[in-house]
Amino acid sequence: MSPPLPAGCVARVAIAAPILALNSIFTAFADNMPASHHLAALIAAPVFVAAWLIELSGVPWPRLALIAAVVVPNLWLTLIGHSETNYLFLALLVGWVAFTGTRTEALIALGLAWVTIVLGLLRTPRLL
């Protein structure tokens, strides 16, 4: 069983998720990226926010669904070369799942986040 969440933790994450989504969208438009990144960010950001809103609302759903809803759009963005602020969702995911999930879920989240970031580094050598 997970320890109780600190007071205000859910509210802070509920505030952070939309801010991170807007940041990811603004980065796609402001950072000399191709038009395909604009559309991709506009599709991925609502997926991120919806997943977090479901998680934070207390709706019973598998934690693996949250992991997939954050990792899959990030992986898609990474594969098209959009490896910028959307990675902040991976950090938020890993921390959240490590605190609220099982050890297995935490390791899955960490492993998939790591793979996504490594693919981004391999895809965009300028980051190395």
**Average pLDDT of the residues in 96-100:** 94
**Domain assignment of residue 2, yes or no:** no
39 is a domain residue = yes
Q: Is residue 43 part of a domain?
A: yes
Residue 123 near residue 79 (C-beta atoms within 8 A)? yes
Instruction: Collect all residues with Cβ–Cβ distance below 8 Å to 43 and sequence separation of at least 6.
Output: 73
In a domain, 3, yes or no: no
Reported as a single tens digit per residue, the pLDDT across 71-83 is 999 999 999 888 7
1 in any annotated domain: no
Considering its fold, how many domains does the chain have in total?
1
Write out the two tokens for 27.
Answer: 């980065």
pLDDT of residue 85: 87
Residue 15: CB atoms within 10 Å: 11
Taking only the tens place, the pLDDT of each residue in 3-44 is 677 778 899 999 999 999 999 888 888 867 788 888 999 999
Structural domain includes residue 18: yes
Q: Which domain holds residue 49?
A: 9-127
Q: What is the pLDDT of residue 124?
A: 74
14 in a structural domain: yes
CA atoms within 13 A on the CB side of 43: 12
Compute the CA torsion angle 96, 100, 105, 111 (nearest 10 deg).
Answer: 20
The whole-model pTM stands at: 0.89
Separation of alpha carbons 54 and 70, rounded Å? 12
Nearest in space to 44 (alpha carbons), one of 58, 25, 61, 67: 25
Asked if residue 28 belongs to a domain, the reply is: yes
